[in-house]
Structure 1
Amino acid sequence: MDFSWMAWTWPTAAFFLCIFALIAAMGMWEVASPGGGPRLGVLRFETTRGDRLFVSLLGSAFICLGSLYFFSDAPLWWALGVCLAYAGLVFRFV
């Protein structure tokens, strides 16, 4: 597949495919287990599954941008690990 018409790279395409897959997985989770009522977490406001996914994606973007700024020569694999741990904490405590 040729992505040259948008100047995309394979990592960029994989990133957006992962976001799409996460949203699709959340939709399937909602169909399989409807409800998932709002929950009051450590931030002291009610969040649903979708809210927690959004917060984890937003935080992960900042983690990756921060790692690119502070450790520009290091690969992003360790930042991916930090992002996964962060998302786990968000889904558990927020």
Structure 2
Amino acid sequence: MAWMAWTWPTGIFFMVIASLLVVFTVLAARYPETPRRGVLGIETTRGDRLFITLLGSAFINLAWLGLADAAQWWALVISVVYAAAVFRWV
């Protein structure tokens, strides 16, 4: 895999995503939940909210790269706040 030019931040990113998928799979197996209806008006489960969070965070980070001159860490902070809001209200 020397051709892929892996960096530590890239590796950590994929490890976090893989860990989230494993944790959410274990949670779904041990503590099944019924879908709930949030502000979007659709029924969502934990996995749905995780997908919405990951997709929204990707857009936040891409927009930050294109529109802001500040450090990318601020986009991470905004993404964490966004994730908390999604898991609370969606």
With structure 2 as the length reference, what TM-score do the two structures score?
0.91
2:76 to 60, 73, 80: 80
2:30 is the counterpart of 1:60: no
Distance 2:34 2:19 in 1: 22
Q: How high is the sequence identity, in percent, across the aligned residues?
A: 52
Aligned residue-pair number: 90
Instruction: Spell out structure 1 runs of 4+ moving beyond 4 A.
Output: none
Cα offset, 1:78, TM superposition:
1.1
Unaligned runs of 5+ in 2: none
Unaligned runs of 5+ in 1: none
2:67 to 62, 66, 70: 70
2:39 to 37, 42, 48: 42
The CA RMSD measured in Å over matched residues stands at 1.3
